Structure 1
Amino acid sequence: MMCRIPGILLGVLVVASAMAQKPVQHIIVDQCDSYEFSVVEMPGDRYTWHLYTELDWNTVNFATNDGNVGPTPYFENGMYQGSTVRVNFLDPGRYFLRVMVWDEVACTNNLLVFLIDVEESKPEATIEADDYCYGDPAEIKIILTGRGPWDVTYTYGDGTAQVNLNGLTDPVYFAPLPVLEPGTTDFWIMEVTDQCTVNTYTVPQKIGVVIHPTPVNSKIYIKED
């Protein structure tokens, strides 16, 4: 998903303190989204964007200090110059995004700062199961959330066997099961990956599949009067 965030340039700032740089635009985004930031383009101006993270607002001078986050992984196609940029694949956390505008004729610089809170987004996979009779076809229902297609790894029993399901496009998938002995066999998800992030389950969320034994046939006796 791509969203567009417009901005308006602040006044001329040759050297500015942190407090003088307010106000900023506060934006809450999903870590899986791509966002477009833009300012009004003026003829002859030069635009440069910088990212900052793990900083307190009152400890950095945005007019003189460049960002501490490398642009290549986060600016689309590594482009961090121009009146419009796209930012994506940020890890969860708080960031500042600054655009510096240079007017080489007037020898002045304008700037605008965005405050960005990136919220974590992880895919989820849950299992639902029914009871079955021994020998009947059995399956588990896997319910997925996130941005498919998904890759899922699950296990069962003593955990030695792992089943890999790759490229699932439907958020609900019915996985056929091998022949199980009568009793309860636990199944649980180990890992799920969507088109954004990976979720590895360190604490198993086990779901039991109950297999009932085949009824024993016995003779029917008719009681005589």
Structure 2
Amino acid sequence: MCQMLKALTPAITFALVSAMRIESPSLVEALCVLVITLGTLVATRGDIAISRIGVAVQLGANGAEALRLVLSQQLLANMQLSLFEMQYHTAPPQLIFLLGASALLEMHSESARAAALSAVASTPWPFVLAGLLGLLLQVVGLVAVKLTGSVTFKLLSTARGAALVLFEVLTGGTGGKGGDAPPSVVQLGGYVASLAGFCVYTLARLRGPGAQTPPKKPKAE
């Protein structure tokens, strides 16, 4: 269910990019985004346990992630803001919101807070390393958004997951004793459709004018 909801993020990002006129996507690109989204929905279908709170949180995360990527593209590519300036303006709000969500959903009791502090105090270096790797990942992600665009960045993540599943199936990495059941024919078809849609989308971006941004208005003196 989580993966099915995540599959909607590229479509939300695509809609925001078009609505905010950051890019002017072509009809082929729009169809490719639709194919990738539907392919991922088909590939991840199965037994679903629905939680209303979980669905609300995941949909909120989808919208926030899409808006973050679109605004990052606007600041980095269109307004030529540097990566250091992006971190300076975005890191403090991210810290506040993450700590707030953690305090509300994970550390709302005294015992949970004590367990969290004990875990950090007993093994601090893994947390420090995870933080540094998270910073590196965020910087690399911003560079990718600046070079490729927010929609392509999310579609790349979707295609990466589909390619990994197909690789495991072809190399015998799924199924067997103690392993997960291999994907069904319908699920494999969904993964193949997602990969094919991403390949066509990439070609359309390279060959067509869809990725071009609208001309900027001259600044008023």
| Larger CA Rg, structure 1 vs 2 | 1
Q: What range is the shorter-chain TM-score in?
A: under 0.3
TM value normalised by structure 2: 0.16
Bigger strand fraction: 1
TM value normalised by structure 1: 0.16
